[in-house]
Amino acid sequence: MDLAVVAKEIKKDDLLQMYYYLRLTRTLEERITALYRQGRIMGGVYTSHGMEAIAVGYASALERDDIIAPYHRDMGAFLIRGITPGEVIAQYLGKRTGPTRGKDGNVHIGDLKRGVIGFVSHLADNLPVATGAALAFKMRGESRVVITNTGDGGTSRGDFHEALNFASVRKLPVVFFCNNNQYAYSTPLHLQMAIRDVVERAKAYAMPGEIVDGNDVAEVYLAAKRAIQRARSGEGPTFIEAKTMRMHGHSEHDSAKYVPRELLEEWKKKDPIMKAEQMLNQLGYGDEATLKEIEERVKKEVEAGVEFAEQSPLPEGREVLDGVFATEDEVQP
Amino acid sequence: MTTATAQEVTYLEAISQALDEEMARDERVFLLGEDIGPYGGAFRITEGFQKKYGEWRVLDTPLSESGFVGAAIGAAMMGMRPVVEMQFADFISCAFDQITEVAAKNHYRWGAAVPMVIRAPFGGGVHGGPFHSECPEGWFFHSPGLKIVAPSTPYDAKGLLKAAIRDPNPVIYFEHKFLYRRVKAVLPQEDFIVPIGKAEVKRTGDDITVVTYGATVHLALEAAELLAKEGIDLEIVDLRTLIPLDKDTIFASVRKTSKAIMLHEDNKTGGIGAEIAALLAEECFDCLDGPILRIAAPDTPVPFSTPLEEYFLPKVGDIVAAARKLAAY
């Protein structure tokens, strides 16, 4: 990303804040992975390692009343919406203090009070749901927007296409992100689709689309800003393909031996945190001491989160029976 | 207490009235589905609605069941009260994933209420063939988080739809196509609802309980009149709501009659009758004087040709035969 453009378009404090969330995401996910390796977390661990800039970039571009419908590599977006590291770890540990009170695990986090639509494992399911939230905003004349995200694999599903089509026909205020990290579990992109760039899919829906460097937080942020502006002004949806690389396995149990080592080596040089640090240095926004301070801060926050989660109670077995149905007072006003 | 209108309305008109009145009452209520706007829907239930409520509240969607059910879920979570029209209940399979994985589980998993209704015109007897006659309620009966209703009369059609629209949960509303223009009633002019979760004893009798819902309620009533002449007195329980099931009413009836027939148009295996039979075996075994019988469609798709469909659908004669068999115990 052109430094002059970054300097002009993004405030120093905003960039430093994004850097903080990049570091918080990485530190938190590394800590969760460590807990998993120690056998303290049951079930899958899905990280955004090497892809942190996408969620941090798009979620930083939103206003408080906007909504996100993220997928499983969007940890930064959860954190920016106010889900705490402690809540995330509690969710992984199946504790009652997790956002789903132990009903669901890992990154299946949702909380409408903080503008987060919960993720379901069926990739792209939340895209039609996101268009529906956007439909409600449009019908009520509100200026809120929705950002949703899915992977390259998710774009093969019918729900992806049904959502883009409907959003475009009705010019709904929604932004569709695609985290193109080259692999859907073990399936490489060329076996997922016959096109080279996912963004080509947007053309079929007469939807503006663009490709961004998914490892450049400033570039993701500015693209999201433009798309949000379009959505807010009633011009309809935008599709953004963020190119990146999944640096770990699909889940932490997956060694990802099917990914060529050279590819990982190549992408390691484009690490989003390293890139952000270089940018901050070059802009004179973050000297070594400033960045070190952020690093120390997030470490403390993550450790406090581990402590909170570990001290939190597990749910009682019989709580399984609670909450199948909603009561009227739980309906969104 | 209530004054009646002079005019009878059909089951179909009762549905239309419920939608109209709920839309007028609550501006959060809106409709979406295929061809429901200027065309008024495949069965003309929303005829004139778009003129009255505008293009957005009577929203024509692309041919995209999963997409628009998903959109209804999103809108519901943002405080709207969407009512989805499936053109035919058969097409609900395209939206199966959104209904069972998203709508049904959202509140349980992370506390987000999804107040929405899916209207599903179901059932055979209309020469619709395998893709316009299905009874898919069994699929959803097995998915916790959904409520399911299936009215058999204009009164229940109107009252249950209003209750469904006012419910804070996803409700699948199975409306039987065979009944659309065949059953009529005079309805109260005042606003009323039929509470979800309450069955109704449609006919009281001492000898055998028939548990049923939808179009087969009328078959059971017809059979009861024939059997009365033989001295066999049927009690007919119209479930009206399939989930949550009104077990109290079912059990009370069977404890009284000691005999039970399950009757539905859905396929026999794994149908709702099977579940209720199992419940009776668990809860009312001591009071049973005979086997629990099931009358249901055979385990085939719904066929098209008239003799095939006639064979497929439960008939009055099936109920009469089953009742005579049980009466002998």
Average pLDDT for B320-325: 98
Q: What are phi and psi of A270, to 5 degrees?
A: -110, 25
Cβ A326–B101 below 8 Å, yes or no? no
A323, part of any domain: no
**Residue in chain A nearest B103 by alpha carbon:** A129
Distance CA(B32)–CA(B57), nearest Å, equals 8
Distance CA(B143)–CA(B132), nearest Å, equals 23
Determine how many CB atoms are found less than 10 A away from the CB of residue A271.
18
- Which of B32, B61, B78, B106 is most worth mutating to test chain A (most A CB atoms within 10 A of its CB)? B78
pLDDT tens column, B98-147: 999 999 999 999 999 999 999 999 999 999 999 999 999 999 999 999 99
A289, part of any domain: yes
Q: Give every CB contact of residue A265 below 8 A, 6+ residues apart in sequence.
A: none
Report the relative pairing of strands B208-212 and B234-238 from DSSP bridges.
parallel
Distance CA(B61)–CA(B45), nearest Å, equals 16
Residue B4 confidence class, pLDDT cut points 50, 70, 90: very low
Residue B259 CA: distances (Å) to CA of A180, A182, B199, B275, B308: 62, 63, 18, 16, 31
**Based on the number of CB atoms within 10 Å of its own CB, is B223 exposed (0-12), middle (13-18) or buried (19 or more)?**
buried
pLDDT tens column, A18-28: 999 999 999 99
A245, part of any domain: yes
Shortest distance, CA B99 to any CA of chain A (angstroms): 11
Domains plus CATH for chain B? 7-188 (3.40.50.970), 200-327 (3.40.50.920)
Domain, as residue range, for A294: 3-306
pLDDT tens column, A63-97: 999 999 999 999 999 999 999 999 999 999 999 99
Residue A333: per-residue pLDDT: 83
**Residue in chain A nearest B59 by alpha carbon:** A170
User: Within the 169-188 window of chain A, which residues sit less than 8 Å (CB to CB) from chain B?
Assistant: 169-170
3-class DSSP state of A129: helix
Residue A1: per-residue pLDDT: 85
What are the beta bridge partners of residue A6?
Answer: none
Q: What are phi and psi of B327, to 5 degrees?
A: -60, -25
Half-sphere exposure of B91 (CA within 13 A, CB side): 20
Of A108, A158, A162, the CB nearest to B109: A108
Residue B1 confidence class, pLDDT cut points 50, 70, 90: very low
Of B70, B110, B144, the CB nearest to A100: B110
Are A299 and A85 within 8 A, CB to CB? Answer: no
> Is the CB of B256 inside 8 Å of chain A's CB atoms?
no
Pick from B25, B284, B63: nearest CA to B161: B25
A331, part of any domain: no
A203, part of any domain: yes
3-class DSSP state of B226: helix
Strand order in the sheet with B58-60: B58-60, B29-33, B81-85, B116-122, B170-176, B147-149, B241-243
* Count of domains forming chain A: 1
Share of chain A above pLDDT 70, in %: 100
Average pLDDT for B174-189: 98
Share of chain B above pLDDT 70, in %: 98
User: Within the 91-150 window of chain A, which residues sit less than 8 Å (CB to CB) from chain B?
Assistant: 99-100, 103-104, 108-112, 117-118, 120, 122, 125-139, 146
**Based on the number of CB atoms within 10 Å of its own CB, is B288 exposed (0-12), middle (13-18) or buried (19 or more)?**
middle
Predicted confidence (pLDDT) at residue B3 exceeds the cutoff of 80 = no
Cβ B66–A162 below 8 Å, yes or no? yes
pLDDT tens column, B284-311: 999 999 999 999 999 999 999 999 999 9
Average pLDDT for A310-323: 97
Average pLDDT for A287-296: 94
pLDDT tens column, A190-247: 999 999 999 999 999 999 999 999 999 999 999 999 999 999 999 999 999 999 999 9
Predicted confidence (pLDDT) at residue A6 exceeds the cutoff of 60 = yes
Report the CATH number that the domain containing residue A284 is assigned in CATH. 3.40.50.970
Angle of the A272-283 helix axis to the A52-60 helix axis, nearest 10: 50
Q: What are phi and psi of B130, to 5 degrees?
A: -65, -20
Determine how many CB atoms are found less than 10 A away from the CB of residue B291.
13
**Chain mean pLDDT for chain B:** 97
Total beta-carbon pairs less than 8 A apart between chain A and chain B: 158
Q: What are phi and psi of B236, to 5 degrees?
A: -115, 120
Helices (H), A61-207: 75-80, 85-92, 126-139, 158-169, 189-192, 200-203
Residue A37 CA: distances (Å) to CA of A24, A45, B199: 20, 10, 53
pLDDT tens column, A166-186: 999 999 999 999 999 999 999
Are B7 and B186 within 8 A, CB to CB? Answer: yes
Q: Give every CB contact of residue B180 below 8 A, 6+ residues apart in sequence.
A: B10, B11, B12, B43, B121
B176 is catalytic: no
> What residue type is assigned to position A268 of the chain?
K
A314, part of any domain: no
Cβ B71–A111 below 8 Å, yes or no? no
Catalytic pick among B107, B127, B132, B218: B132
Distance CA(B173)–CA(B165), nearest Å, equals 10
Element (H, E) at A293: helix A288-311
Residue A150 CA: distances (Å) to CA of A70, A156, B109: 7, 10, 20
The two structure tokens encoding residue B137: 């309620």
**Residue in chain B nearest A323 by alpha carbon:** B108
Pick from A320, A109, A67, A120: nearest CA to B99: A120
Average pLDDT for B9-16: 98
User: Within the 53-82 window of chain B, which residues sit less than 8 Å (CB to CB) from chain A?
Assistant: 56-57, 59, 61-62, 64, 66-80, 82
A322, part of any domain: no
**Residue in chain A nearest B63 by alpha carbon:** A162
Helices (H), chain B: 11-25, 49-53, 65-77, 96-97, 104-110, 137-141, 154-166, 216-228, 247-257, 272-283, 306-312, 316-327
Shortest distance, CA B8 to any CA of chain A (angstroms): 34
Distance CA(B17)–CA(B3), nearest Å, equals 17
A329, part of any domain: no
Residue B6: per-residue pLDDT: 67
Angle of the B65-77 helix axis to the A158-169 helix axis, nearest 10: 70
Residue B2: per-residue pLDDT: 46
Which residues in chain B have their CB less than 8 angstroms from residue A136's CB? 74-75, 78-80
**Residue in chain A nearest B110 by alpha carbon:** A100
Residue A285: per-residue pLDDT: 95
